[in-house]
Amino acid sequence: MPTTVSRRAAGILLHPTSLPGPHGSGDLGRDAYRFVDWLAASGQTLWQVLPLGEIGPGNSPYMSRSTFAGNVLLIDLTELADRGWLDHADLVVSPAENRLRIDFATVIPLRMQRLRRAATRFLHAATTSDKSSFTQFCAEHHRWLDDYGLFMALSNSFASDDWPAWPAELAHRDQCALNDARHAHADEISFWKFCQWCYARQWRSLKTYANERGVKIVGDMPIFVAHQSADVWVNPDLFELDSNGRSTVVAGVPPDYFSETGQLWGNPLYRWSRHADSGFAWWCERMRQASDQSDLIRIDHFRGFVAYWEVGANEVTAVDGRWVPGPGAALFKAIRKALGDLPIIAEDLGVITEDVKALREQLGLPGMRVFQFAFGGDATHLFLPHMYEPNTVAYSGTHDNDTLVGWWQTTSLRERAFIQHYLGSDGRAIQWDAMRALSSSVADRVIYPMQDVLGLGGEHRMNRPGLPTGNWGWRFAWEQLEEWHGRTLAHFSAAHGRSALSLAELPA
220 within a domain of the structure (yes/no): no
pLDDT of residue 385: 97
Give which of 211, 198, 220 is closest to 82, Cα–Cα.
198
Q: How far apart are CA 277 and CA 415, in angstroms?
A: 50
pLDDT of residue 95: 60
137 within a domain of the structure (yes/no): no
Q: What is the pLDDT of residues 366-379, one digit of tens each?
A: 999 999 999 999 99
Query: Mean pLDDT over residues 135-163, rounded?
Result: 97
Q: What is the pLDDT of residues 313-327, one digit of tens each?
A: 999 999 999 999 999
pLDDT at 99 over 90: no
320 within a domain of the structure (yes/no): yes
**Cβ(394)–Cβ(371) under 8 Å?**
yes
Cα angle: 27, vertex 30, 31; to 5 degrees: 65
Q: What is the 3-state secondary structure (H, E, C) of 398-445?
A: CCCCCCHHHHHHHCCHHHHHHHHHHHCCCCCCHHHHHHHHHHCCCCCE
Q: How far apart are CA 154 and CA 62, in angstroms?
A: 22
- Tell me the pLDDT band of 97, cut-offs 50, 70 and 90: low
Catalytic positions, please? 300, 347, 400
What are residue 229's DSSP bridge partners?
none
pLDDT at 14 over 60: yes
pLDDT at 115 over 80: yes
Query: Mean pLDDT over residues 424-453, rounded?
Result: 97
Cα angle: 428, vertex 387, 465; to 5 degrees: 65
Q: What is the 3-state secondary structure (H, E, C) of 220-251?
A: EECCCCCCCCHHHHHCHHHECECCCCCECEEE
Query: Mean pLDDT over residues 290-314, rounded?
Result: 96
Domain count, the chain: 1
438 within a domain of the structure (yes/no): no
3 within a domain of the structure (yes/no): no
- Tell me the pLDDT band of 351, cut-offs 50, 70 and 90: confident
Query: Mean pLDDT over residues 351-357, rounded?
Result: 92
- Tell me the pLDDT band of 4, cut-offs 50, 70 and 90: very low
pLDDT of residue 5: 37
Mean pLDDT of the chain: 94
Q: How far is CA 35 from CA 39, 47, 286, 439, in A?
A: 6, 10, 28, 21
pLDDT of residue 505: 73
289 within a domain of the structure (yes/no): yes
- Tell me the pLDDT band of 500, cut-offs 50, 70 and 90: confident
119 within a domain of the structure (yes/no): no
Query: Mean pLDDT over residues 448-474, rounded?
Result: 94
Q: How far is CA 54 from the centre of its chain?
A: 10
Query: Mean pLDDT over residues 99-125, rounded?
Result: 94
SS3 label, residue 307: strand
Supply the pTM of this predicted model: 0.95
- The answer for residues whose C-beta is within 8 angstroms of residue 333's C-beta and 6 or more apart is none
Q: What is the pLDDT of residues 396-433, one digit of tens each?
A: 999 999 999 999 999 999 999 999 999 999 999 999 99
Sheet with 321-325, strands from edge to edge, namely 263-268, 249-253, 307-312, 321-325
pLDDT of residue 185: 98
What are residue 346's DSSP bridge partners?
299
115 within a domain of the structure (yes/no): no
Burial class (CB in 10 A: 0-12, 13-18, 19+), 323: middle
The domain of 348 spans 235-365
pLDDT at 256 over 80: no
